[in-house]
Each structure stands twice: as structure tokens, then as C-alpha cells.
Amino acid sequence: MTTAPLLIGHPLASKEHARHALLYMCRIRKFEEAVEDLFGRGMMHGTMHLSIGQEASPTGMCMALNLTDQITSTHRGHGHCIAKGADLTRMIAELLGKEIGYCGGRGGSMHIADVDTGNLGANGVVGGGIPIAAGAALASKMMKSGKVVVSFFGDGAMNEGAFHEAANLAAIWKLPMILFCENNKYGMSSSTEKAFAIDNLKDRALGYGIPSVNVDGNDVVAVYEQAQIAADRARNGEGPTLIVAETYRWKGHSRSDKNLYRTKEEIEEWRLLDPIPKFVEKILESKLMEQSEIDAIQAEAQDQVIAAVNEAVKAKSAEPSGLLAAVFKEISA
């Protein structure tokens, strides 16, 4: 299944933009639900980290990026891949260990990269994508390619040395980079209250001389507006921005999480702040679409994910005998 071309611009700029933002958020939601289902049925191995509840952040951020701009992602990266334009079938295939997957079925969820759409890769190392993004941003600056590089990372990653080193280099070299923190309030079972001595994570940027902003990470319009400002700064040679998107993951950290560190009430409170109905309300207010058109887009996202799953399930499994050839393909070429 090929992916529709990405649409850049404000999510309420036109009916097409609203359609794009809604379709991509619904694709992420439906993709994650399908992954959970496949895992539950024993068809997927390893572990997985779902981003249900966080869909507005990657969607809003990526609508401010050109096709050639780049991102680095995390262990919770399906939403970033989809928002940057990845093919759903190749993503599911990767998770199912199929040859047509992004890494030939050898890498799984935490290694999906799609260089053609500017996705430099998910990363199982917390904070690992931040220095990679700084390196890509340095390359952009030196080669004058005009590319902006976004590093998505979680609140937990902000306490890794990699964040601090990359933030400092990005600041002193004025790299065309956006540090995008998805503050979902927990790093595994550790709450941000326990892991930070500051109340607002955006204050971390002060020590590096980087401008920073908080945004409602469940509001695709608000995310886009801040992302656009940060992307303009980067393109104008003014250096990096830290965006802290306040959001929440509805599901456990990973498959094995029993959710013992947070209350049902807290989860319920955040479920009421679901980014998808929040955006639907804005579309209806703006009169860009009728409810029936909105329903059709949600159904379309569901159909696209079902089609991707069906195609990926039928695809050829990766052969263990080809393991080393697949891993070292690029190096030996």
C-alpha cells in the first residue's frame, strides 16, 4: 500500500489540511490498536510501546516539516514514522518479521527507519536519537541543504547525558534542530515529579540558551503552531528550540506493564482529553467539514490499517539464513 503524499501547513488552513491531520491521527490510533491485537494473538514477537493518546504531537510537528526535513524517533515511534509518511504495510510487515518490512523483518518496532521520508530511525536507547539528530542538523548546516531536523524524545530522555550534550552543541553551533519532548508524565514507572527537581521541563533549556515552549500535546493545532515557529527559527539560522508537548500514554509502558504506579482515575482524566475528538470539535467549529465527512475519514483510516495488516500477514517471512546478509547489506555494498 502506498502512502498519500504528505500535506504541509496549518491543520485548519483548508479542508484538505484538516482531512490530512485527522486521517494521520486516526491512522496512528488504528495502527496501534491493530498492533496490540496482533501481539495479543501471538503473531508478533518481542515487545512494543504504544503511543495511543499521543497522536497529535507527531502529526502537528510533521505538518510543519518539508518532505526533505528529517526526524529521529524513539522506542515509542510508530506515530512518528506514520506522521512522516511511512508505508503502513511495510511497518506492520517489519513488526511481523516479514521480508518486505523496513528492515527486512530483522529489526522490529524499535528499529524502523525510512530514509526516503526523512525518518532516520526509531531507537531503543533512551535519548539515543538526540545526538543523531544533532549530527544530521550539523550536516544540514555544513552542506547548506536547508533541512530541519526534529528529534522526538520522551521526558525520561531529558535526564540522559545524550540530551545535555546534544542540546549544548545544537545551541553553540546554532543547528537547524528542534528538540521535541513528548512529556507523557512517566519514564516507565517513574513519574516526572520523582525524576525532576524542576516543575516545568521546558526550563531545562535555560541552561543552554535555547528558547523553549510548552504546548498542549493533545491539540494538533497548538502543536503545529509552535512547530511552525520553531521550524522557521531553524530555517532562518537562529538555532534550536525545545518544544515540550504535554501529553499522556493511555496504555502501559510496554506489553509487560501492569500499570501499578498510576491510578485508573488519572488514566480516565487523560482519556477525556483524547486528541482526536478535540480536533474533530475544531473542524466542526471551523465549518470545514460535516460530521459525515469526518466519519468517512475515520473509516478510511481503519480500512487502510486493515488492508496493511492483511497484506503484511500474507507476505513472505524473513529467512533466518539471511540474517547476517540483511544486517550488513549496506556496509558490504
Ligand X SMILES: Cc1ncc(C[n+]2csc(CCOP(=O)(O)OP(=O)(O)O)c2C)c(N)n1
Smaller CB separation from ligand X, 8 or 157: 157
Contact range with Mg ion by CB under 5 A, out of 36-44, 115-123, 184-192, 230-238: 184-192
- Among 72, 184, 228, 304, contact with Mg ion (rule: CB under 5 A): 184
Shortest Å distance, C-beta 183 to ligand X: 8
C-alpha triplet 276, 279, 281: angle, nearest 5°: 110
H-type alpha helices, the chain: 15-40, 56-62, 78-83, 88-95, 129-143, 161-172, 192-195, 220-235, 264-271, 275-286, 291-314, 323-327, 329-332
Taking CB under 5 A as the rule, which mask of x and - marks residues 118-137 in contact with Mg ion? Answer: --------------------
Please, what is the minimum distance in Å from the beta carbon of residue 131 to ligand X?
A: 12
- Residue 215 gets the label, from left (phi > 0), alpha (psi -120 to 50) or beta, of beta
- Nearest residue (CB) to Mg ion, 38 versus 166: 166
Residues in touch with ligand X (CB under 6 A): 75-76, 124-126, 154-157, 184, 186-188, 253
Give, as one character, the DSSP assignment of residue 44: S
Residue with cell 504495510: 89
* Total of chain residues touching Mg ion, rule CB under 5 A: 5
Cβ distance to ligand X smaller for residue 208 or 248: 248
Contact in structure between 112 and 86 (CB atoms under 8 Å): yes
3-class secondary structure, 76:
coil
Task: Name the segment binding Mg ion (CB under 5 A); options: 182-190, 201-209, 251-259, 275-283.
Answer: 182-190
CA dist 125 and 127 (Å) reads: 6
The DSSP code for 114 is B
Could you tell me which residues come within 8 angstroms of residue 115 by beta carbon, excluding any fewer than 6 positions away? none
Shortest reach from residue 86's CB to ligand X, in Å = 18
76 binds, among ligand X, Mg ion, none (CB under 5 to 8 A by kind): ligand X
Least separation in angstroms between CB 297 and Mg ion: 29
Closer residue to ligand X in complex, CB, 41/258: 258
Judged by beta carbon distances under 5 to 8 A according to partner kind, the member of Mg ion, ligand X, none in contact with residue 313 is none
Closest CA to 229 of 245, 216, 240, 217: 240
**C-beta nearest to Mg ion: residue:** 154
**CB closer to ligand X out of 117 and 151:** 151
Question: How many other C-beta atoms are found inside a 10 Å radius of the C-beta of residue 41?
Answer: 8
CA distance 323 to 213: 44
CB-wise, 122 or 169, nearer to ligand X?
Answer: 122
- Region 142-161 residues binding Mg ion, contact defined as CB under 5 A: 154-156
For 167, the enclosing helix (H) or strand (E) is helix 161-172
To which H or E segment does residue 153 belong? strand 149-154
Q: Which residues pair with 242 in a beta bridge?
A: 179, 212
**Among ligand X, Mg ion, none, residue 126 binds (CB under 5-8 Å by kind):** ligand X
Selection from ligand X, Mg ion, none that 125 binds (CB < 5 to 8 A by kind) is ligand X
Q: Which residues bind Mg ion (CB under 5 A)?
A: 154-156, 184, 187
